[in-house]
A and B are shown apart, each in its own frame.
Chain A
């Protein structure tokens, strides 16, 4: 959206603005545009799921869509974790659907209403970090609950030569501890970068159309607009892929915790 100076600021879309001030125990927990979009995602997800609750023997289209989504996560966990993976379907499904809906909600063309712009919750590190901690925390809790201290054998893979025992656990521990960061950063960076690119290209189109010289719209705006279409489609793909990657990695990490190596 246009900033103060009339220039297009590609970062403006990530700005969190309080809609209703709220204090709780000395912390500022205002209801912001970010919170609003979280609630929108919640509503959209409820609506989506409610459409699949008709529980018909012969499903309609909507029920098929819902069952496709649940079956997708169910298969993912069964394939990666085994029969025990069924227990973690609610968590992974919640993560997957929340990220997917949040990513898509950030792509909705709410901008056609003046003064409104979509907000992508998952382009915020604070949000992706918490989601990654849910994933990582589950792995830790399940791992120590099921295997106790034996869980540490995760850091010594089978077949490690004795003379590498001083090095391999360190590397494994490092790669284990980096997981929440990579989960959080991957989603945050992918969404942020894509949305910045879209805003920059959209800026080219608008600034080109507003330019004095007559050749600028043809040379700048039109190609940028064509590119914009492609980038938008690509970004929609990224929305789905990032949700998928998050869910897939979570299920792989849960597999480590459940089955060790």
Chain B
């Protein structure tokens, strides 16, 4: 076994080179490169933790905003509903008032028209009597040659019209 049979010839060389190589490894890899790698890892871990915290914060904020937004929306909806109800009530009232006014106007107009109509009828009727009396007097004159006064004629027409 060379590890044991050669030990006396080779131990110095083995120790010497191992000390050099392991010393280099310890002081370059262990003391210089390793801390840099670990610093990178720590920086990454910290960044991830920070980012997660920021995301959590943003999420909470967004939740808050959403909640308050929903509340605002509900309030706005209630207000709008109240306003629209009020407007509807007011519009109905206005319509009633205007309708009543229009009714009154129309009734007045109808009444006036009726009165005028009655007046016109009466006037027309009296006109007819006069014309009939004249016609009767004329007819009498033509038929009998007797002259009758218009007062007699009118009396006769009236009598006929009242009876007839």
Contact = CB atoms under 8 A, between A and B. Distances in A.
A91 B22 contact: no
Contact of B14 (A14, A55, A90, A126): A126
A32 B18 CA distance: 11
B10 A53 contact: no
A142 to B, nearest CB: 15
A53 B44 CA distance: 14
Contacts of A197: none
Contacts, number: 136
Contacts of B44: 57, 59
Interface stretch (A40-48, A144-152, A203-211, A236-244): A40-48
Given A29-B13, A34-B13, A90-B31, A188 B21 contact: no
Contacts of A27: 12-13, 16
A66 interface: yes
A199 B47 CA distance: 51
B156 to A, nearest CB: 131
Interface string A38-72: 11011001100110110111010001001100110
A34 B14 CA distance: 7
A93 interface: yes
Contact of A28 (B13, B19, B24, B41): B13
Contacts of A124: 3, 14
B40 interface: yes
Provide the main secondary structure of the chain A interface: helix
Interface residues on A, range: 35 or more
Contact of A15 (B2, B13, B25): B2
Contact of A89 (B2, B14, B24, B34): B34
A57 B46 CA distance: 11
Interface residues of B, number: 38
Contacts of B3: 14, 123-126, 188, 192
A34 B17 contact: yes
Interface string A129-154: 01100100000000000000000000
Contacts of A127: 14, 18
A98 to B, nearest CB: 6
A32 B7 contact: no
A242 B49 CA distance: 36
A45 B22 contact: no
A98 B16 contact: no
A56 B17 CA distance: 35
Contact of A16 (B6, B40, B43): B6
Contact of A52 (B12, B22, B30, B37): B37
B2 A32 contact: no
A94 interface: yes
B16 A46 contact: no
B40 A55 contact: yes
A38 B7 contact: no
Contacts of A28: 9-10, 12-13
Nearest to A54: B40
Interface in B31-77: 31, 33-41, 43-44, 47
Contact of A134 (B9, B22, B43): B22
Nearest to A23: B12
B2 A16 contact: yes
A93 B13 contact: no
Interface of A: 11, 14-16, 18, 22, 24, 27-32, 34-35, 38-39, 41-42, 45-46, 49-50, 52-53, 55-57, 59, 63, 66-67, 70-71, 74, 89-91, 93-94, 97-98, 121, 123-127, 130-131, 134, 188, 192
User: Which 3 residue pairs of A and B lie closest in terms of their CB atoms, listed nearest first?
Assistant: A90-B30, A35-B17, A27-B12
9 contacts: A15-B2, A27-B13, A28-B10, A34-B10, A42-B25, A55-B39, A89-B30, A126-B7, A126-B18
